[in-house]
Structure 1
């Protein structure tokens, strides 16, 4: 029997064993532990000034409703824009941000006023009053409300029932300086649902078409087909009846 002084303590033996295993793993090419992640940089200060729809955004976001932009207001608006994919997400309470807010508020029940007829087939609903578009089948919304831009004064989008009669994915206008009209779906004598590259709101309205952002127009293209029903009602703000 070995003398007690010649038996290594259990803890010391275990440590030697673990050290031997670790060395073997390193020699075998085992990956080294990952370094600690660097801290994320602080977000840039939000410096956008007061926007035309400041009060509406303040109310929705639970901010003090005074119509005057603060840095906290700006940060809250910017976070809303980032959640909704608005570009630029700069904290400015712009027309696009307000139109998107209108769409967000309508998501739970866009047809609460029952202005868009309910049918067993898909109906693309174009609400000129609120500048919104959605698609429903029966009472079920299958394409949530999105902001749109419709015809300006004297070029209003025509109300009533329509039918998609022609689709052109990469359409270019032959009437308006070769303007691109991606994902065009024509529903009434040249008026179409289509994407508009750039800003939707850089002038008073379209020449009668229903303009969407390009991503929204692409999603709508994938949903609709020729022969699909389109129903338009209401009056675009700033135009005559």
Structure 2
């Protein structure tokens, strides 16, 4: 069969249309007009993206959920029942921002827990009552480092070294520097308690004295105030229990006496001390 140039052109056009999926119309070699020809070319399908559960069934990572991005809870530094120097500093700083009014005592009690909860709630932190690292850093940023007197406002301060005059015999060794009283026998400390002294107008005398009178239920005739477990050593000045010291700490002062805030401790001390025992009041 002979093919004219026009026929060959139409054939080439037809092949190109088949490759592209086009519609072709025109005239053949006989000069006649032909109907349109539609060539369907199958399209390559694209596979759907794999779902998170797809993959190798033996792969332990296949189908696993994405890792959690939630932050781990902050480490707890102190909570109720704890004690020590860190708790004492926490309480001192809470006092600075008026969330705690008692202490510092060095013991994480119910009042401390309540103060921490209040501080946390005010700043949008979880109200756990436990001092975690986040709470501690926030509190430190708002306060200054407490000094010695702030830390030991309610007593409990470590005693300094005893005065050399306290190292022999039976002695009530009283330090104004550390605000402590040591009960010592032949250089050995048996008891240490926190004490408070007189004000500027009525200072506690310093020096070496001796206990000359003990009065269990004494009441001051000058100030009409109770002085239980009184052990007099210089005129009207005595070592005795003070309810005011127990309640207010160093916010108050005596009229010259040496106040003790721990009633159980001074009751035990009163039972041991004898008339004639030495009293040393020193810086």
The Cα of 1:101 is off from its aligned counterpart by 3.6
Structure 1 residues 112-160: Cα deviation after superposition (integer angstroms, max 9, x where no partner): xx424244311111101111111112221111x2111111102111000
Partner of 2:282: 233
How far, CA to CA, are the matches of 2:279 and 2:225 in structure 1? 24
Which of the numbers 196, 202, 210 marks the counterpart of 2:258?
A: 210
Q: Does the Cα contact within 8 Å between 1:81 and 1:97 map onto a contact in 2?
A: no
Partner of 2:213: 166
The Cα of 1:220 is off from its aligned counterpart by 1.3
Partner of 2:270: 221
Relative to structure 1, is the Cα distance of residues 216 and 89 closer, same or farther in structure 2, using a 3 angstrom cutoff? farther
Q: Does the Cα contact within 8 Å between 2:104 and 2:154 map onto a contact in 1?
A: no
Note the 1:54-69 alignment, pairs <5 A.
60-61=85-86, 68-69=93-94
Relative to structure 1, is the Cα distance of residues 229 and 59 closer, same or farther in structure 2, using a 3 angstrom cutoff? closer
Structure 1 residues 184-234: Cα deviation after superposition (integer angstroms, max 9, x where no partner): 010001100000124252644100000002222212101101111000012
Structure with max Cα Rg:
2
Which of the numbers 90, 107, 122 marks the counterpart of 2:111?
A: 90
How far, CA to CA, are the matches of 1:128 and 1:78 in structure 2? 19
Gaps of 5+ in 1: 1-44, 47-57, 83-87, 235-241
The Cα of 1:96 is off from its aligned counterpart by 8.4
How far, CA to CA, are the matches of 1:141 and 1:63 in structure 2? 24
Relative to structure 1, is the Cα distance of residues 60 and 172 closer, same or farther in structure 2, using a 3 angstrom cutoff? same
Partner of 2:14: none
Which of the numbers 200, 225, 228 marks the counterpart of 1:182?
A: 228
How far, CA to CA, are the matches of 2:176 and 2:106 in structure 1? 24
Partner of 1:191: 237
Alpha-carbon RMSD across the aligned residues, in angstroms, is: 3.8
Q: State the TM-score, normalized to the length of structure 1.
A: 0.55
